[in-house]
């Protein structure tokens, strides 16, 4: 046998090859390094947890080495309400951890057409499972851009006045109508743009104090120096 062949069959090399093959088997086929469980955080409800686990396509018993965190995260992030998903593998316990970050609702958007639909600061439309918040603006608009502008106005209104607004209509990015209940009276306010906020509120309050305006249903303060009541 040649020296070259003897080197090829040397014990250290054989041990190395066997070790590599054994590790490959343990990681890729053996149940020793398999998924023992999947833990999910950030899901708003137990039902959503189950749905996220299905979306990830990570199964108990699957080899940990065959779990692709990036691929599984992309599948989960297809849900509009999920802003970000991170996946990690614990090789000792066999647990795969999925952490999802929900989008943060800025306002309800056209929820009369799509129940529970909200919009975030990026203009992304989504329905967050199990979400309710009576303090968010209810906005109807033709576009997400208009809705964001309407919410900008809503958040700038004084708190005591804002609390009386029940919903908003944005016909453009600078034309708004407010539906309100002021002192127990349902009132529609044609607001116009977001200019002269303090003046418009002052005009509304003064108009409502006049005896002849006890039965009005609409106040137009698009031009606050020449308001209209109906």
Q: pLDDT 10s per residue in the chain (230 long)?
A: 444 544 455 666 555 555 554 455 455 555 568 999 999 999 999 999 999 999 999 999 999 989 999 999 999 999 999 999 999 999 999 999 999 999 999 999 999 999 999 999 999 999 999 999 988 899 999 999 999 999 999 999 999 999 999 999 999 999 999 999 998 999 999 999 989 999 999 999 999 999 999 999 999 999 999 999 99
Same domain, 112 and 224: yes
Q: What is the pLDDT of residue 113?
A: 93
10: in domain: no
| 113 and 93 together in one domain | no
Token pair 């603006």 is at which residue? 137
Looking at the fold, whether 121 and 219 belong to one and the same domain comes out as yes
> Is residue 190 one of the residues assigned to a domain?
yes
The pLDDT, as a whole number, for residue 1 is: 46
pLDDT at 29: 52
**For the chain, what is the domain count?**
2
Are 91 and 119 found together in one domain? no
In the sheet with 125-127, reading across from the earlier edge strand, the strands are 125-127, 117-119, 107-109, 138-141, 165-172, 175-182, 185-192, 218-220, 228-229
- Tokens read off for 63: 């080899």
- Please give the pLDDT value at position 33: 80
- Structural domain containing residue 188: 107-229
Is residue 108 a contact partner of residue 118, using CB atoms and an 8 Å limit?
yes
Q: Are residues 113 and 95 in the same domain?
A: no
Q: Which of 102, 120, 147 is the last residue of a domain?
A: 102
Measured distance CA(29)–CA(36) in Å, rounded: 15
In a domain, 24, yes or no: no
For residues 132 and 220, membership in a common domain is answered with: yes
Nearest to 92 by CA among 53, 29, 26, 34: 34
Q: For position 2, what pLDDT does the model report?
A: 47
User: Using an 8 Å Cβ cutoff, are 76 and 52 in contact?
Assistant: yes
Provide the whole-model pTM. 0.77
């Amino acid at each position: 046998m040649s020296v070259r062949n003897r080197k090829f069959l040397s014990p250290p090399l054989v041990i190395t090859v066997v070790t590599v093959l054994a590790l490959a088997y343990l990681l890729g086929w053996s149940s020793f390094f398999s998924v023992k469980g999947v833990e999910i955080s950030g899901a708003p409800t137990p039902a959503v947890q189950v749905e996220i686990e299905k979306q990830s396509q990570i199964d108990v018993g699957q080899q940990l080495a065959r779990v692709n965190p990036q691929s599984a995260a992309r599948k989960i992030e297809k849900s509009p309400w999920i802003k970000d998903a991170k996946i990690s593998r614990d090789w000792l316990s066999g647990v795969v951890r999925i952490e999802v970050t929900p989008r943060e609702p800025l306002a309800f958007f056209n929820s009369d057409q799509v129940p529970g639909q909200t919009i975030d600061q990026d203009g992304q439309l989504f329905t967050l499972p199990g979400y309710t918040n009576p303090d968010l603006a209810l906005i109807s608009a033709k576009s997400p851009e208009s809705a964001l502008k309407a919410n900008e106005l809503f958040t700038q209104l004084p708190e005591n006045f804002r609390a009386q607004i029940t919903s908003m209509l944005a016909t453009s990015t600078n034309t708004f109508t407010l539906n309100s209940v002021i002192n127990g009276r349902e009132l529609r306010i044609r607001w116009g743009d977001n200019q002269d906020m303090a003046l418009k509120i002052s005009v509304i309050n003064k108009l409502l104090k006049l005896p002849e305006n006890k039965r009005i249903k609409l106040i137009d303060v698009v031009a606050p120096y020449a308001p209209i009541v109906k």
